[in-house]
Every structure is written in structure tokens, then in C-alpha cells.
Amino acid sequence: MMARWRILLLAAAAGALPAAAATCSVAASSLAFGSYQSNQVQSIDSAGSLTVSCTRDALDAAAVTVSYDVDISRGGSGNFAIREMQSGANRLQYGIYRDPLRSLAWGDGSAGSTRVSSSLTMSSPLTATAVHTVYGRLFGRQNVIPGAYADSITVTLSY
């Protein structure tokens, strides 16, 4: 049985910078859990990444610093702490975290979740990027039937 995390919508940006100072985007790599055997004791951990890229206006001689937040939606379960992938009517529970210990649920800062808040400074290079690791865990001890399980996650970049 395969379990994959996939992002169907990437990037909604809201600006607070002067017009044309910088533009930013976010891109994601896959977070794939591989095969899961029903009722296996061990959880399956995986990691992926979100890359934030900002490009400053080439005509602007001054350095530009862009502060940003990266939020991840609850997915189909409506819950940050325990998300669910689906295969038809069947569910497989997993989590998305900001830390390698998998203790900080990544969300939008509400309901006990945390968000990524950071900044990029662009001076000589016109583009700067930051890579944020996404830690996932497919929980063990789930009695599920074989199938391809998936969830839709929205990543929002606000800057």
C-alpha cells in the first residue's frame, strides 16, 4: 500500500512591501511515506522540503529584506495534529511537523499548530532562497486496507 503526501495548490501571496520591491514564491518537494502494512507497530517517518524564493527589483540599488510566513493547511481531516489521507472511504492518519522530533505540528499558528516565520535579504544577488524541511510521520498501529492514500494540502506564503 502506498501513502503519499501531495500538494495540489501552492502559494497564495499577500504583500506588505512597497510596490515592485520583491516578488516571492514557494515550491514543494514530495513527502512520500512508501508502503505501509496494516497494523505495523513502527511509524514511518519521511522528510520533504518547501523552498521560498524571492527576487528583488533589479532597479532598486538598496538591499531588500522580505519577512514571510509559511502556513500549511489542515488537509482533508480538518485537524493539524492528526491529518488523514484517504483511499475511497478509508483513512490513514499522519502528521506534518516543523521539527525533526516531530513535536511541532506545522499549520497556520492556530489550534496548537506552529507556522514558519523567517526573512530573506537580497542585496547583490537579485534572488534569494530559503529551504524549510517538512517532517512527516505516518502513525503505526493503524488497521487499514490496501490502497493508494492521499491528502490535499495547501501551502500559503504571506510576505
Beta bridge partners of 68: 118
DSSP the chain: -EEEEEEEEE------SPTTSEEEEEEE--EEEEE--TT-SS-EEEEEEEEEEEEE-TT--S-EEEEEEEEE--GGGT-SSSEEEEETTEEEEEEEESSTTS-SBBSSS-TT-B-EEEEEEESSSSEEEEEEEEEEEE-SS----SSEEB-EEEEEEE-
In the block, which residue shows the cell 501551502?
A: 155
> What pLDDT, on the 0 to 100 scale, is given for residue 60?
62
Model pLDDT, residue 7:
40
What pLDDT score does 9 carry?
31
Q: How does pLDDT run along the chain (159 residues), one tens digit per residue?
A: 333 333 433 333 344 444 447 899 999 988 899 999 999 999 999 999 999 999 987 766 678 899 999 999 999 999 999 999 999 999 999 999 999 999 999 999 999 999 999 999 998 778 999 999 999 999 999 999 999 999 999 999 999
What global pTM score does this model have? Answer: 0.84
| Domains delineated in the chain | 2-158 (2.60.40.1090)
What pLDDT is recorded for position 123? 81
